[in-house]
Structure 1
Amino acid sequence: MRVAKSAAIVIAVFGALAWYVWDYNTDPSGGKAKAEAAASAQASEDATHDPNIGDCVKVKDPQGEPLPTIVDCDSPEAEYKTADKLLGNDMKCDSKYVYGIQVRQSHQMGYTLCFTKV
């Protein structure tokens, strides 16, 4: 009787573990592993559009809704170098910069990126 209870517990533990692994990787909606990989890829993509001071960028749609993308400073794609980040909504870059992008974040205070020519 004791052996049967022990065996049932071991089988239940291994069954639960197998179900968790199967669900994690093969869920019909894409699986948790796939969702986590997609979220990680999106975070990496978002990071390429959030330059730090000193990063060189190319800007898509500079006159409309500008989107800076970090590029290598030696690349022919490099248009601007990030020179300053002004925290606060509606901040303006002064005349020593050639270009600025205001970034508004719905859940945080916005900021302005100021650029010089490469």
Structure 2
Amino acid sequence: MSTPPPQYPNQPYGQQQPPYGQPQQPYGQQPQPYGQQPQQPYGYPQQPQQPQPPQQPRGPQRPPGAALRMVKAAVVVIAIVGGLGYYVWDYNTSPTGGKAKAEASASAAAEEAKTHDPEVGDCVKVADPKGKPVPTVVDCGSPEAEYKMGEMLPGQGQECSAKYDYGIQYYSSRGFDYTLCFTKV
């Protein structure tokens, strides 16, 4: 023999009360039939019942040791940049390179030009006097001194007068031609 389910007092329409721990309908509402979503009580704003969006798939996982490789690559790049920076700094501050070398070279060239560009009263020795003569300024008291410069004649084709023992003519493509006249020391 079967017994009917127990009836609980204060239940509308003789319905069963859900077991403890289960969600209950608010007071005075009917349970929803199967397949329908529960309704909010009157007076409360309704919220849309939407399923949760699927989670985005993660990118491929890095293989173990990838961080170590990135650190090694960063160290190599920093070492190369540091080496280049040191080279540029050293080149520009060293007396044998960079600006210092260019300035020293220009200074040496200016000094060299002075030794081959005598002025009136300078004593010179002449290398290759019969071919392409190059006068070099020397001290008048030295045994190397051969001639003393007496005059510079501007213009092409100028000849030294008879009072001079030796003359060197210079021709320039820039149009500044001259003749240097020397007397023996």
Could you state the TM-score of these two structures normalised by the residue count of structure 2? 0.48
- Is the partner of 1:101 in helix, strand or coil? strand
SS class of match (1:81): strand
The equivalent residue for 2:162 is 95
**Pairing 1:48–2:115 present:** yes
Provide the secondary structure at the position in 2 that maps to 1:62: coil
1:97–1:116 CA contact under 8 A, matched in 2: yes
SS of the equivalent of 2:157 reads coil
What are the superposed Cα offsets for residues 18-53 of structure 1, whole Å, 9 maximum, x if unpaired? 99x826336xxx412201211110110111010011
Match of 1:80 in 2: 147
User: Could you tell me how far 1:94 is from its partner in structure 2?
Assistant: 1.4
2:128 aligned with 1:70: no
Deviation at 1:108, TM superposition (A): 4.3
Shift of 1:104: 2.0
Q: For residues 65-92 of structure 1, give each alpha carbon's deviation from its aligned partner in whole angstroms, at most 9, with x where no partner exists.
A: 0000011111111100000100111211
- Aligned residue pairs, count: 97
Q: Which has the higher helix share?
A: 1
Aligned residue runs from structure 1 range 24-35, under 5 A = 24-25=92-93, 30-35=97-102
**Alignment gaps of 5+ in structure 2:** 1-84
- 1:24–1:31: 8 Å Cα contact kept in structure 2? yes
Matched, 1:57 2:102: no
Structure 1's unaligned 5+ residue stretches are 1-17
Counterparts of 1:116 and 1:65 in 2: how far apart (Å)?
19
- C-alpha root-mean-square deviation of aligned residues, in Å? 1.9
Equivalent pair of 1:79/1:117 in contact (CA under 8 Å): yes
Query: How far does residue 96 in structure 1 lie from its aligned partner after superposition?
Result: 1.1
Structure 2 Cα separation of the partners of residues 24 and 110 of structure 1: 40
Amino acid at match of 1:82: M
Instruction: Indicate conservation of the 8 Å contact 1:60/1:66, yes or no.
Output: yes
Mapped partners of 2:126, 2:102: distance in 1:
29
Structure whose CA Rg is larger:
2
Higher relative contact order (Cα pairs below 8 Å, separated by 6+ residues): 1
State whether residues 57 and 80 of structure 1, in contact with CA within 8 Å, keep that contact through their aligned partners in structure 2: yes
